[in-house]
Chain A
Amino acid sequence: TSCGVVGDLPLEMASPVLKWKRVTNTTGPCPRPRHGHRAVAIKDLMIVFGGGNEGIVDELHVYNSAANQWFIPPVKGDIPPGCAAYGFVVDGTRILVFGGMVEYGKYSNELYELQASRWEWKRLKPKPPRNSPPPCPRLGHSFTLIGNKVYLFGGLANDSDDPKNNIPRYLNDLFILELRPGSGVVGWDQPETHGIPPPPRESHTGVAYCGSDGKQKLVIYGGMSGCRLGDLWILDIESMTWSMPMVYGIPPLPRSLHSATLLGPRMFVFGGWVPLVVDDVRVGTHEKEWKCTNTLASLNLETMTWEPLAMEVFEESLPRARAGHCAVAIHSRLYIWSGRDGYRKAWNNQVCCKDLWFLETEVPPPPTRVQLVKASTNSL
């Protein structure tokens, strides 16, 4: 019975019941559509910062998924300048912002901390690593929290000081930022790694995963290095070893500026830029044109398998194709908001999507009395 592994699983495990739902009738001030923003979730809240569209945004917006309401928290402290394609992680109720684009052609390597309980910003100045300079200014990097350490990988640097003359450089360096409990950081570290590191890239995603064997892993997927990438790399945190695991199933198209969100053992990949598939094989091999996609893919990190998805597919029941959107997991739902819908342009402005969607990954059990009581007493 070696071939019966998938068949033995309950049906909803093998093919999760998935359904997109557009969120309508939100109350409160709706943020302006944009791309390159990031979001994190704290309980029922989705916290959105930065991004931009013809102007980088420095606003902080919060969406309360329980109340279906947007609100703008009153922030204080060292309020950071707006940034786009930066790194954003949440540890409890503190949020860290690193790098990103702050002006045309100008990237940052500054670190800010937001205490979401007080909505207070603080600029942090972490110590550089012992033997090397701190990470260079960059955008499109991955910034992933594992335990009490944040892992910074790759991104795009600009080797030119002149904003008119951008000299892009793809990176594949790895830095670790150790956090102090509660607030502040210990400093940067550039660890020694083993194995072959992933090639340079930007606008990839990094996901933290703890396997059933208890091993912590950093999963790097996709990105851009001149062409869109679809490769998957794993850094084993214990041994600091890079590896390229064997991946089963039908992989999705290579992509960048997508989102990858962990829900249970599954990494849900949504949207991004993918190569335009041309039927002609000779043309198709040379990646020349790209488009945004609205496809969803699910990688089971336990079995390392791209799983087929059973989805309801109606024209209007799917979010439009997009890239540079944000995605967070709130309970069993995957929320996505805004993003850019391709190279479509109107006048001198790029149009971005202004819709909010969620993907239901589990059929929620009927609410019990206890849960209902909890929901009203336990809200943030």
Chain B
Amino acid sequence: MGFGLLDCYISMEVSESLPDSPAHGCLADHTYAKSWNWSPSHILYWPTKYLFTSREIHIAHTSGANEGRLDVEMVVSESEPPFDAIKAETLLEEAVKEAEKVCCNGVDDQDWEKSVDQLSWTSEQRKLFSKVTEILNAVYLSMLSSKGSVHCAAVYRSRMDSCAKQFCRLMCQDSMEVKLGGWLHVLLMKHLSPSYLALYMELLQALRAKSPGVFDSVTSEARMADSMMDFLEKKPWDPAASSLSHLKLTKPRDGITILFLHGSLSKKQRASMRMQFWIDQLSHMGRVIPVTLASLDDNGRTRSLDAILSSLKSHVSDAKTQHPDKPLVIVGWGTWAALTSHVCLEEAASISAVVCLGFPTRGIFGARGEADDPLLFCKVPFLFILGSQAINARISDIERLREKMKCQTRLIVLEGGDHWLRLPKGCKVIHHVTQGMVDKALMMEVADFISLVLSPPPDVLTSLTMVPGSNT
């Protein structure tokens, strides 16, 4: 079964009567009724499921006397985070320890800004310095405000990532001289107080993982201590990393082959960290064959749709001939997902299921689902996972499309997610999650879908068509 620690973060799926989340036991226990969006007219159309919707469970104290009064005595217990909070704490402190080793200027957290002599600076230098201190102050304050909470590690991670993004943007401005970055780095290394230096190091660590080029240009001027370099070269820590890899996806009985279509464009470009995480995790379910656009386009000649499609088809048939006994599942991101429908038409017999991670509901020829759209002729079960804030897809469009499709379809909506199924910082902070946890939750949905599709249809399927009470 695919439930574990992460489930406590997946809000009760309001639209689905299937109990996936024991943490929301009180509602998942009572799955007697058909769900509100159940439609008797379409048996293939599974109710939409929403992930990471926000809600709270109110425990009523109906003694009456304390109604309308604010209870300040009762300690509201925080829900347990889906990671080891103690371990996350040590990860958090790693940078602090490292910084204390390096830092010997003895300045206070409040005073370090004053200790910088700005007299001889140019206006660009001043501007840059004030912006960077703004970023560092913001993350410092957020760290202080979330301190003591069991979720602080996850919140801190999200904030740090967003600060690294801001810092990167600042460093990549058009007006920015390359030299200034180096100057700033040397200055900060000299003047930052230990706690701020720890934050700055974490920021650099995150920056290095995301954009190594920017990192190199910033740090090239100064020589750093080896221990510090070691720290910076590490992967940014994720509080839930160990519990995420501990939580295995359900493996179908005979194993499966997964054709994983992700977005890397050239051969040289490695799969991004996130895609690598997906590949690693999905490989628990069976053999994963990553397919990039580059590998479809061997000679670098043409990237016409026909060429890509025929190449994709040959990948499908290759995978099928290599493992004829294993069901083949295609997992595709974004536009790739849209391409799979063409392949499904011709290779329907060899494909067991299709998972679309993000799906553009509109192409250059207008909305999907017009009369001759190959999607409408697919007979392979489809799982769509969409972000509710995706720029290239609308939930209403995909629902309309699903009604017209002649195969089993399932839709999972990531509340607040974008077209790459990323949650914005605000959402992550509210739910106390990192993107890794969100991805894992999505993967568990994928795994559930695949195991459902691959399990032989039981006799209950026939009872589904019956209207309750009609057999009396």
User: B-contacting residues of A (Cβ < 8 Å)?
Assistant: 32, 34-36, 51-59, 72, 82, 84-85, 101, 103-105, 139-140, 156-157, 159, 163-173, 197, 200, 202-203, 224-226, 228, 256-257, 273, 286, 288-290, 323-324, 343-351
A-B CB contact pairs (8 Å), 22 listed = A32-B471, A52-B32, A53-B32, A55-B32, A55-B467, A57-B469, A85-B30, A101-B33, A104-B38, A140-B29, A169-B58, A170-B26, A170-B60, A200-B59, A226-B26, A257-B29, A288-B23, A289-B3, A345-B18, A346-B452, A348-B464, A349-B463
Question: Which of B32, B36, B467, B469 lies in contact with A35, CB distance below 8 A?
Answer: B32
Taking A72-B472, A104-B33 as known contacts, 5 extra A-B pairs with beta carbons closer than 8 A to each other, sorted by chain A number, are: A52-B32, A200-B61, A202-B26, A348-B47, A351-B460
Is A351 a contact of B33 with CB atoms below 8 Å? Answer: no
Question: Which of B30, B33, B36 lies in contact with A55, CB distance below 8 A?
Answer: B33
Q: Smallest Cβ distance from A228 to chain B, in angstroms?
A: 8
Is A343 a contact of B32 with CB atoms below 8 Å? Answer: no
Q: Smallest Cβ distance from A130 to chain B, in angstroms?
A: 16
- Closest B residue to A169 using CB positions: B60
- Closest B residue to A224 using CB positions: B26
Is B26 a contact of A168 with CB atoms below 8 Å? Answer: yes
Contacting residues, chain B, for A159 (C-beta < 8 A): 58
Contacting residues, chain A, for B59 (C-beta < 8 A): 169-170, 200, 225-226
A171–B60 Cα gap in the complex (Å)? 6
Contacting residues, chain B, for A347 (C-beta < 8 A): 452, 455, 457-458, 460-461, 464
Asked if B57 lies at the interface with its beta carbon under 8 angstroms from chain A, I say yes
A56–B12 Cα gap in the complex (Å)? 20
- Closest B residue to A158 using CB positions: B27
A273–B472 Cα gap in the complex (Å)? 31
Question: Which of A58, A225, A289 lies in contact with B469, CB distance below 8 A?
Answer: A58
Given contacts A103-B33, A200-B60, A346-B455, contact A290 B472 (CB under 8 A): no
Contacting residues, chain B, for A323 (C-beta < 8 A): 29
A59–B472 Cα gap in the complex (Å)? 7
Given contacts A52-B468, A345-B18, A347-B458, contact A104 B34 (CB under 8 A): yes
A84–B471 Cα gap in the complex (Å)? 19
Contacting residues, chain B, for A52 (C-beta < 8 A): 32-33, 468
- Closest B residue to A290 using CB positions: B22
Which one of B5, B27, B33, B468 has the highest number of Cβ atoms from chain A below 10 Å of its Cβ?
B33
Is B4 a contact of A289 with CB atoms below 8 Å? Answer: yes
Q: How many A-B residue pairs have CB under 8 A?
A: 157
Q: Smallest Cβ distance from A81 to chain B, in angstroms?
A: 10
Contacting residues, chain A, for B60 (C-beta < 8 A): 157, 169-172, 200
Is A85 a contact of B460 with CB atoms below 8 Å? Answer: no
Is A164 a contact of B33 with CB atoms below 8 Å? Answer: no
Contacting residues, chain A, for B57 (C-beta < 8 A): 168, 226
A197–B63 Cα gap in the complex (Å)? 9
A82–B467 Cα gap in the complex (Å)? 13
Contacting residues, chain B, for A273 (C-beta < 8 A): 25, 29
A156–B32 Cα gap in the complex (Å)? 15
A252–B329 Cα gap in the complex (Å)? 45
Asked if B111 lies at the interface with its beta carbon under 8 angstroms from chain A, I say no
- Closest B residue to A291 using CB positions: B22
Q: Smallest Cβ distance from B32 to chain A, in angstroms?
A: 3
- Annotate B430-472 by CB proximity to A: 1 below 8 A, 0 otherwise: 0000000000000000000000100101101101100111011
Q: Smallest Cβ distance from B349 to chain A, in angstroms?
A: 22
Contacting residues, chain A, for B3 (C-beta < 8 A): 289, 343
Contacting residues, chain A, for B290 (C-beta < 8 A): none
Given contacts A52-B33, A164-B36, contact A345 B468 (CB under 8 A): no
Q: Smallest Cβ distance from B48 to chain A, in angstroms?
A: 10
Is A105 a contact of B36 with CB atoms below 8 Å? Answer: yes
Is B460 a contact of A346 with CB atoms below 8 Å? Answer: yes
Is A56 a contact of B452 with CB atoms below 8 Å? Answer: no
Contacting residues, chain A, for B471 (C-beta < 8 A): 32
Q: Smallest Cβ distance from A93 to chain B, in angstroms?
A: 22
Question: Which of A32, A197, A224, A289 lies in contact with B29, CB distance below 8 A?
Answer: A224
Contacting residues, chain B, for A173 (C-beta < 8 A): 62
Contacting residues, chain A, for B12 (C-beta < 8 A): 166
Q: Smallest Cβ distance from A222 to chain B, in angstroms?
A: 13
Interfacial residues of chain B within 44-64, with CB under 8 A of chain A in the complex: 46-47, 55-63
A310–B367 Cα gap in the complex (Å)? 68
Asked if B8 lies at the interface with its beta carbon under 8 angstroms from chain A, I say yes
Contacting residues, chain B, for A34 (C-beta < 8 A): 32
A34–B18 Cα gap in the complex (Å)? 14
Is A350 a contact of B31 with CB atoms below 8 Å? Answer: yes
Asked if B202 lies at the interface with its beta carbon under 8 angstroms from chain A, I say no
Given contacts A159-B58, A166-B12, A203-B29, contact A59 B469 (CB under 8 A): yes
Asked if B211 lies at the interface with its beta carbon under 8 angstroms from chain A, I say no
A105–B464 Cα gap in the complex (Å)? 20
- Closest B residue to A323 using CB positions: B29
Given contacts A104-B17, A172-B62, A288-B5, contact A54 B26 (CB under 8 A): no
Asked if B146 lies at the interface with its beta carbon under 8 angstroms from chain A, I say no
Interfacial residues of chain B within 174-204, with CB under 8 A of chain A in the complex: none
Contacting residues, chain B, for A101 (C-beta < 8 A): 30, 32-33
Is B22 a contact of A349 with CB atoms below 8 Å? Answer: no
- Annotate B378-407 by CB proximity to A: 1 below 8 A, 0 otherwise: 000000000000000000000000000000
Q: Smallest Cβ distance from A39 to chain B, in angstroms?
A: 16
A108–B225 Cα gap in the complex (Å)? 69
A170–B30 Cα gap in the complex (Å)? 14
Contacting residues, chain B, for A165 (C-beta < 8 A): 14, 55
Contacting residues, chain A, for B62 (C-beta < 8 A): 171-173, 200
Given contacts A58-B469, A170-B26, A345-B18, contact A84 B460 (CB under 8 A): no
A140–B31 Cα gap in the complex (Å)? 12
A34–B3 Cα gap in the complex (Å)? 23
Contacting residues, chain B, for A256 (C-beta < 8 A): 25, 29
Q: Smallest Cβ distance from A137 to chain B, in angstroms?
A: 13
Question: Which of B15, B18, B56 lies in contact with A350, CB distance below 8 A?
Answer: B18
Asked if B19 lies at the interface with its beta carbon under 8 angstroms from chain A, I say yes
Asked if B272 lies at the interface with its beta carbon under 8 angstroms from chain A, I say no
Is A168 a contact of B15 with CB atoms below 8 Å? Answer: no
A35–B32 Cα gap in the complex (Å)? 7
Given contacts A343-B3, A349-B464, contact A168 B27 (CB under 8 A): yes
Asked if B1 lies at the interface with its beta carbon under 8 angstroms from chain A, I say yes
Question: Which of B33, B47, B55, B56 lies in contact with A84, CB distance below 8 A?
Answer: B33
Asked if B80 lies at the interface with its beta carbon under 8 angstroms from chain A, I say yes
A82–B58 Cα gap in the complex (Å)? 27
Asked if B35 lies at the interface with its beta carbon under 8 angstroms from chain A, I say yes
A346–B456 Cα gap in the complex (Å)? 9
Q: Which 8 A-B pairs have the closest CB atoms?
A: A52-B32, A55-B468, A84-B32, A104-B33, A163-B36, A349-B460, A169-B60, A36-B32
Contacting residues, chain B, for A172 (C-beta < 8 A): 60, 62
- Closest A residue to B2 using CB positions: A343
Q: Smallest Cβ distance from A141 to chain B, in angstroms?
A: 12
